[in-house]
């Protein structure tokens, strides 16, 4: 699908903004500069994220951060795609951006060279069958999927300059693959990540830090306000503070542990076995370890094995919490995109949507209550689970947001 408004050039980005920090602002500026785009559209993960974690603050507050910092239109990456391995995550995001008519995709990577991604895609297309067999063979030996994939790549013996040991390179590769698989006309661009690595757990730069290190600082129990402030735009930090003060919460897994523990202890093995990502008898280990743990961190340490990464198990925990089954997600992942849901926009974004609405083959969902699609049903369930730790009055007020028209600033 070509851009629905030929006189307007749109660049798309896939984001979590958990929370929006100076590194995100840098990427936003680079995206505009490198693509010459008139409109910036982001598809943003909703309440739960790709690594199987609850977002620090709601999608509505993160939308406000994005719009205040220069994004023109925020579209929702629904739960069914936001909480998935890189390939499925990218598939959902690219399908939304393609339906939204963007011209370009911009993503951050450890590489910084888009040619390396195209070269790797070409190599993998030539060896796809052989690579799949090697992955299955390595997993049968007890390796996790990421490790099995890395081993398979090395066993192929092909030459490439792109490292798939780095998380943003992995996502970037799957964006390129999804564009190819979907025959999308989107042109990809990438910018090299600067100053802070994806997994950095401490704030070391005066201006740019990873989202992980910001969250670690917030939950450290120490007053690191000045450190957090210096690595976030002032409007973004103000929204973070406002959310914390009005809800008395910034979300993390420990707040959900009692709900998760209850869900597991009152479920049968058959019920747990039906949950997405619960495979190879994991339901027995889940039940055996949950009653021994007094915190989410302790439970994860008991649950983790060589075969399953921490991230994979966190995603399983998320699906248990939201009672999301294999049958439900298999249906969604094998169905066409049913709608595009805007979360917020400025005047430029609104003008773009007006044009898109007239020509897009995928309908725009402006009022959530109007949809009965399974994708929306799963999103509603995830939202309720996400808000469960909040006090009842605040929870109800925040739940009402789910049924309002998109935010307009």
Contact call for residues 167 and 199 (beta carbons, < 8 A): yes
Range with the poorest average pLDDT among 91-100, 206-215, 283-292, 317-326: 206-215
Residue 337 in contact with residue 95, Cβ under 8 Å? yes
CA dihedral sign, ordered 387, 372, 352, 106 = positive
Annotation-wise, does 262 bind a ligand?
no
Closest CA to 27 of 185, 168, 155: 168
Confidence (pLDDT) at 123:
86
User: Is 168 annotated as belonging to a binding site?
Assistant: yes
313 labelled binding-site residue = no
- Consult the annotation and say whether 41 binds a ligand: no
Whole-number pLDDT of residue 156: 81
23 is in an annotated binding site: yes
17 appears as a binding residue in the annotation: yes
Specify whether the CB–CB gap between 62 and 15 falls below 8 A: no
CB < 8 Å & 24+ apart, contacts of 398-406: 398/58, 398/60, 398/247, 401/58, 401/60, 402/368, 403/367, 403/368, 403/369, 404/367, 405/366, 405/367, 406/342, 406/343, 406/344, 406/345, 406/366
Q: Is 22 annotated as a binding residue?
A: yes
The answer to the question of whether 15 is labelled as a binding residue is: yes
Residue of higher predicted confidence among 18 and 221: 18
62 to 238, 242, 315, 342: CA distances (angstroms): 11, 12, 21, 13
73 vs 347: CA distance, rounded Å:
9
Output the pTM of the full model.
0.92
Q: What is the DSSP string of 142-160?
A: T--HHHHHHHHHHHHT---
Q: Is the peptide bond before 19 cis (omega within 30 degrees of 0)?
A: yes
Q: With a cut of 50, say whether residue 4 has pLDDT above it.
A: no
What span, in angstroms and rounded, lies between the C-alpha atoms of 175 and 186? 10
| Residue 201 pLDDT | 57
Confidence of residue 149 (pLDDT cuts 50, 70, 90): confident
Please state the CATH superfamily assignment of the domain spanning residues 10-113+170-251+337-408 in this structure. HUPs (3.40.50.620)
Residue 296 has pLDDT above 60, yes or no: yes
Going by pLDDT thresholds of 50, 70 and 90, the confidence category of residue 5 is: very low
What pLDDT is attached to residue 195? 58
pLDDT of residue 251: 97
Instruction: Please report which confidence band the pLDDT of residue 407 belongs to, taking 50, 70 and 90 as the band edges.
Output: low
Q: Please, which contacts does 279-288 make with residues 24 or more away whose CB atoms are closer than 8 Å?
A: 282/308, 282/316, 286/316, 286/320
Q: At what angle do helices 310-322 and 296-303 cross, to 10 degrees?
A: 120
Q: Which residue has the tokens 């199987």?
A: 52
Is residue 405 within 8 A of residue 394, CB to CB? The reply is no
Neighbour tally for 275: CB within 10 Å = 27
Residue 27 counted as an annotated binding residue: yes
Confirm whether residue 25 is marked as ligand binding: yes
SS3 label, residue 332: helix
- Burial bucket for residue 125 (CB in 10 Å: 0-12, 13-18, 19+): exposed
- CA contacts within 13 A on the Cβ side of 286: 31
Residues of the chain with CATH 3.40.50.620: 10-113+170-251+337-408
Percentage of the chain exceeding pLDDT 90: 69
The answer to whether residues 17 and 56 touch, using CB atoms and an 8 Å cutoff, is no
> What is the spatial distance between Cα 272 and Cα 12, in angstroms, rounded to a whole number?
37
């Amino acid at each position: 699908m070509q851009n629905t408004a030929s006189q307007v050039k749109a660049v798309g980005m896939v984001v979590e903004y958990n929370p929006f920090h100076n590194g995100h602002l840098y990427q936003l500026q680079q995206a505009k500069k490198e693509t010459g785009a008139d409109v910036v559209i982001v598809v943003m993960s909703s309440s739960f994220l790709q690594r199987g974690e609850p977002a620090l603050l709601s999608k509505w507050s993160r939308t406000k951060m994005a719009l205040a910092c220069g994004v023109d239109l925020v579209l929702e990456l629904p739960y069914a795609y936001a909480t998935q391995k890189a390939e499925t995550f990218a598939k959902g995001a690219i399908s939304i951006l393609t339906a939204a008519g963007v011209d370009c995709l911009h993503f951050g990577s450890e590489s910084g060279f888009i040619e390396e991604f195209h070269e790797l895609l070409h190599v993998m297309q030539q060896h796809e069958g052989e690579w799949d067999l090697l992955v299955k063979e390595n997993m049968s030996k007890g390796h996790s999927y990421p490790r099995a994939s890395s081993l398979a790549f090395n066993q192929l013996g092909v030459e490439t300059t792109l490292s798939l040991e780095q998380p943003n390179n992995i996502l970037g590769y799957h964006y390129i693959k999804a564009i190819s698989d979907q025959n999308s006309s989107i042109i990809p661009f990438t910018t090299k990540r600067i100053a802070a690595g994806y997994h950095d757990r401490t704030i070391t730069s005066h201006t740019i830090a990873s989202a992980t290190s910001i969250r670690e600082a917030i939950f450290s129990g120490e007053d690191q306000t000045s450190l957090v402030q210096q690595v976030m735009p002032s409007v973004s930090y103000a929204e973070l503070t406002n959310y914390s003060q009005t809800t008395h919460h910034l979300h993390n897994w420990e707040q959900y542990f009692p709900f998760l523990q209850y869900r597991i202890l009152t479920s049968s093995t058959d019920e747990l076995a039906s949950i997405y990502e619960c495979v190879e008898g994991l339901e027995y280990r889940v039940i055996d370890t949950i009653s021994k743990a007094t915190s989410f961190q302790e439970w994860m340490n008991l649950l983790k094995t060589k075969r399953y990464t921490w991230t994979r198990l966190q995603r399983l925990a998320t699906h248990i919490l939201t009672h999301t089954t294999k049958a439900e997600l298999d249906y969604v992942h094998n169905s066409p995109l049913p709608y595009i849901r805007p979360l917020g926009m400025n005047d430029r974004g609104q003008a773009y949507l007006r044009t898109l609405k007239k020509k897009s083959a995928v309908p725009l969902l402006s009022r959530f209550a109007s949809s009965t699609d399974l994708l929306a049903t799963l999103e509603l369930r995830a939202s309720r689970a996400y808000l469960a730790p909040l006090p009842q009055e605040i929870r109800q007020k925040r739940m009402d947001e789910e049924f309002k028209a998109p935010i307009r600033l």
